Amino acid sequence: LSLPMLQSLRRDLLHDVKSRELRVIVIAAEGPVFSSGHDLKELSSEDDVKHHSQVFELCAEVMTLIQKLPVPVIAKVNGLATAAGCQLVASCDIAVASEKSQFATPGVNIGLFCSTPGVALGRSLPRKVALEMLFTGEPLSAHEALMHGLVSKVVPEDKLEEETMKISQKICESSKSVLALGKATFYRQITQDLDTAYKITTKVMVDNLTLRDGQEGIEAFVQKRKPVWSH
């Protein structure tokens, strides 16, 4: 996740974001590593504080952008995801991993604690699991990541594409406007106390009913037919 890579990822995430045709985004990688995190050459003393700030600020912008997008974002992980690469997986809405994948935040071992990856990890994993990763730098296996909730599914490597597309296609069967409302509401309520969360979501359920697709879905169910979404 060098500065040019982060800039490219931001452009790609925002590409056609308002198009009705865009329904789901999949982030994948070529090669044996999903993402090894920041380019450490960009973080040396040869660059100034302003440059270092630019790298971390853009990284934070990309990670938060993922959750603000109106469509689900899936991480398709086939290999090692470390440091900010692990942060990227934790920031996605869904993560499907191959059995050979591993996840780590090893910055502590080189004197650069993974503080920003810890934001996403701390919101995806139990606190003690996240802190063990951050304090030791030791990796989680794919199945350990599944057990602790960092990823959604673990499949054999030769089934990774099939499973990712299966989830994507299922998402595409639903109304984009309903999913956009639901995603935004989920992230809005998840940080609130219980009473506030229910106040927020109660209002949104009512708002959902005012959407054309909200009524279309109910009418289709009652009439025992397939809904025709307007998105």
Q: pLDDT tens digit string along 172-196?
A: 999 999 999 999 999 999 999 999 9
Q: CATH 3.90.226.10: which residues of the chain?
A: 3-172
Please determine, for residue 220, whether its predicted confidence score (pLDDT) is greater than 80.
yes
| Sequence-distant (≥ 6) Cβ neighbours of residue 100 within 8 angstroms | 78, 79, 142, 157
Q: Under CATH, domain 175-223 is a member of which superfamily?
A: Lyase 2-enoyl-coa Hydratase, Chain  A, domain 2 (1.10.12.10)
Average pLDDT over residues 25-33: 95
Q: pLDDT for 87-132, tens place per residue? A: 999 999 999 999 999 999 999 999 999 999 999 999 999 999 999 9
The SS3 of residue 19 is coil
pLDDT at 48: 83
CATH 3.90.226.10 assigned to 3-172 = yes
Mean residue pLDDT of the chain comes to 96
Least confident among 47-56, 132-141, 181-190? 47-56
**What percent of the chain shows pLDDT beyond 70?**
100
| Sequence-distant (≥ 6) Cβ neighbours of residue 55 within 8 angstroms | 3, 6, 38, 42, 43
pLDDT at 20: 87
Please determine, for residue 217, whether its predicted confidence score (pLDDT) is greater than 80.
yes
Q: CATH 1.10.12.10: which residues of the chain?
A: 175-223
Q: List, as own/partner pairs, every contact residues 141-146 make where C-beta atoms lie below 8 angstroms and the sequence separation is at least 24, other chains included.
A: 141/102, 142/97, 142/98, 142/99, 142/100, 142/101, 142/102, 142/103, 143/99, 145/97, 145/101, 145/103, 146/97
Give, for 103, the enclosing helix (H) or strand (E). strand 102-104
Please determine, for residue 69, whether its predicted confidence score (pLDDT) is greater than 90.
yes
pTM, to two decimals: 0.94
